[in-house]
Structure 1
Amino acid sequence: MTASSIAARRHAAPAGTSRGGIAKRRGAVRADRDGDLMMDAPGRGRGKIGKAGARTSTGSAGTPLAARTADSRGARNLERLTAGLGGVSRPRASNSQKPLKEIKITGWSGNKAKASDDGGVSTLIAWLEKRATTRNGAAKKAVKIKKSRVDGETLVISVNEDDVPAVLRVNGFVFAGVNIAMERPRSMSPETSQSGAGHELKRLLTSVIDRRYNSSTKLLDLRDLAHDPEIAATGLFNEKESTRAKFFPALMKVCEGIFGTLQQRKEAVLSITLENNEIPSTTAITTIAPTFPDLKNLDLSNNQFRDIASLEGWKLKFRHLEHLVLSGNPIEQENPDYHATITRWYPGLRFLNGVQVRSEEEAAINIKGVTRALPFPVKGPSFVDQDKVAENFIKNFFPGFDSDRATLANYYYDAQSDFSLSVNTAAMRDPNQQQTGVPQEWDSYIKKSRNLKKVTHLPARMSRHFRGPQAIAECWATLPTTRHPDLAMDPSKWLIECQPIPYVPDPSGQSPLGVSGLLITLHGEYEEIDVPSGQAKKQRSFDRTFVLGPGGGPEGVRVVNDLLTVRAYGGFAAFKPEEENAVSTVAAAPGAPGGITIEVAEQMVVELTKQTGMLPQYSKDCLEQAGWDFNKALETFAAVRQNLPAEYFAQAPVLV
């Protein structure tokens, strides 16, 4: 099939918010011949920090990557790209030699500074320079706006090309009571902010994908890459296995930038061909599976796959795969019975090497019978609450938190009650939401967020730990007004568990070893409310843990400890327990010893996840491949760790 060009996609820079004040403009404002405002006085410093440009053998920057000879530089560039770096920093040329780029700003005209003579333009310019400077990674290197003009409701500013990324990072911030919006310069793509060899490598790989993607057939043609003229000139896909192992992770990283979210990739790419690439195993190409997990057609023909072990890295991946081609590989002669294993790995597979192995109906039944992507069936919550103490507490607490927090704090908390808040800015979002790129705006929570991995200084830790009803109520008063779903009307939006726990401190002092209490864990969602209008302005998910003990309040219950975690909205689909007769992935796992129960397997997955940092589903796959031998699974992980993509690992929360 012939690949056609794919149109370049541009993505807006992520927006954030800020509550910083407005800096006053210093110095006189000058105009050039065109009437544009000149924002710099003569002789002012304009130094900045930038990434290094790509160098040729003579040391010059900007030479196209294709003009270089095949050497170790290609491997180094690949390593930089896969690590998310654009090159090695070095001093830049004077900004006066850099071209200017125009950025259009809207939403600013209704600001509180509009009463000034220029409608707040000078104040906005000064504020933008200050904000951009503090966000460019080099506080002493000031970002300067060279020109500005007002075009109707739009403010057009001109900055050095290298300063564009720093200015765009202020997109969506609050200036004098209004959110500003910025439009990326048309002549710049999101990757322009990354200079040097890494950026040129991205441009090369983007060009390769543009030429090899067919939008009409949704085919990504990656066949015979070693003989692609543009790639061959760089030496990136040479005979070195180490370099080749880094090529595909880099290529997949660029694919994610081009094709967007997982859902967008699912719709854009249905087929991939890797024909004639001399690939000996899935180790070098393993990142294709998490990047395009919903492939329907995969061509691996004319490579060097010799046995089932060489394909095992993709076992149980590509759950929706319908057609697989392995012809022209040594496995056909050395392991002629591989067909049975392959069809077992892919329950929805209908064609293998062009030969039908299942009917469409059989494939549909198999896919329906396979357990979901989670490693184990989701069980219902455990709620042990004989006297309905926890039930009454929950029913009263959240309506009170939404309506009268001060009264609630005095009702359930005493002088020894503790509360702390944590913000998880890296939590997974609901995949069904369309606007996953909307900024979350954590300003109302960040200063109260207490995370011991990030907040390392004792005074800061102590200042974010609240004890007693007055301190807790004062902290709650700074948080946005909320509205939680009604437990009776929307029980599916909650996951609540309760277990009795011993050794809860006795406030009366009569039991030195403590008394029995309750541990309540809740997962749910809430809306932040705009008080004047009463309308919801933001939806979030939360996790909350309470330790309840006996107290002297009206209900005889006090909150010993209250820990609240706030995160982006993640939906509630994971709360729904699976059917009791659902197929167990552990019981059905190929090669699992008969003595491995679901409970034992769960513990093994949890422990392997803890030791490796992988997501549970990948820990389970690793254990399956090791025959549920835990030590062997650890050895397997250690052997392939360097080749695993970032998607295999749990994204650590941004601790603030």
Structure 2
Amino acid sequence: MRGVLKYQVRHTPYTMGHDKRRVKWHSEGQIRVTLWSNRKHLTREMGEDTRDGTQSSWFKITIPFGKKYDKTWLMNSLQSHCSVPFTPVDFHYVQHRARFFVQDASAASALMDVSYKICDEENKKIPIFVNTSAVPYSVRDKLAPEKMEQLKLTMSKRYEVSRKALDLQSLRYDPDLVGHGIDIILNRRNCMTAALQIIKMNFPELLSLDLHSNRLFQLDGLSDITQMVPTVRILNLSKNELNSTWELGKIKGLKLEELWLEGNPLCDTFPDQSTYVSAIRKCFPKLLRLDGRDLPPPITADVDRPDLIKPYKERYEGSDVVKSLVLQFLQQYYLIYDSGDRQSLLGAYHDEACFSLTIPFNPNDPDPSSLFEYFKYNRNMKNLKDPNLRFQLLKHTKRDIVCSLSVLPKTQHDFSSFILDTWFQSESMIFVCVNGVFKEVEGRSQGSVRAFSRTFIATPASNSSMFIVNDELFVRVATTCESQRAFSITVPTPSCSSEPTLSQEQQKMVLLFSMQSGMKPQWSQKCLQENEWNYTRAAQVFTMLKMKGTIPEEAFKQIP
């Protein structure tokens, strides 16, 4: 059996080299590429000798443009579609490709059968190429048994049982290894593979791994940790030579809660701390501490799933249900919007959603520059005559929308100012309008209060949630009265005079905790005080107690 593919070409044809394809000219400026069939071809090539005179039983699996796929997603997709279980060896990215090896002809043949049968999130079919290969480096250069035994003894001395923590800091210079003439350089794939194998066999419940000061400049070898030691929650990579967050993407399958990166060149590539935190959290959404500093708890509507919107299946049972749903949605949406990491709003939008921004048209405005940061995104039809520009300013797809939202000024919305209306709903759609005020928290207009009106049109999704399909935002300068009333409502403090008055920062913490937890301000304040105003710890305690059902019902706010 032969598979036939056609490709348009404009340049001189070339031969395909060692991968056993045949290339022929075809009519109308095309070439015909004939791929050898799976099993027959692989079985025949298994008999070919390698350079060292032994028969090859290794196969190289290549995914063109595989660099854009997360390793965990790609491996899970291949495993679920492949008819034969396989063990990937030496998974790594080469330029734009993803590559790994298998040592089983039946698995290699089955993987070739999966080619063009897996679709990515853009609904593009993923090709898979299979070729015979020499023995992979990590296997060919595998540590000798006596070296493995000494490395195991050295790592055992560095393991702390009570904390389930392994300290591999400056491992190369460990006296026990140097004294035996063993050179362990963790940048080498065979060395990192050996270390991970020892961890998997001897410390399978490892929680904390310290790789401080190992001169790591790439994490290809460490990427196997997501399958071999997925229990790791604390990882120290400080004082290495990592230059890009791309390297961190190779291990983002870990559910890290604490990460250390200080002392790596990549830390100097960000303009400020918030941008740095945002970039790292894209790889590790559940991260609670970075470089020893507590982070605000990750904002999600559900602990186990990334959807921002709460389940929507009961929306037709009465107006109270719809009201509760809308309030939860708006709280989650604007808490994320104000957090500084608006990329997390991707889950709130439909793939083909639209967004537009409008500011007032007033030719007599004495200060037309007061909304200058919004002007270039303004799609007001009164003063926008160019049809091409009108089309460009109407943002399509959720990625374009979130990119547009991310460049708008950072904000803090006044939840107490919100006026809501759900003026239309059906089985397939709901219209939500919200009016209120916010202030800008940085830049040339820092402290300026703006009034806004926003209309969301949302539709149910297949997983009983809902997505925004249309988002229209109108922004104007707040009136003097609106500015005076903005952020004027404070959290009530205990009436007892012996209790200290809350600071402004503590009041904000109480208000935010109350919105996220659903508890009344007094109970939120109590939870924060009992945890010494450590927001992360208070959130963890709240989650644990709520799961146990020990929080009384009167602690929670009632939806009016």
TM-score normalised according to structure 2 size: 0.28
Structure with more of its chain in helix, by fraction? 2
Higher relative contact order (CA 8 A, sep 6+): 1
TM-score normalised according to structure 1 size: 0.24
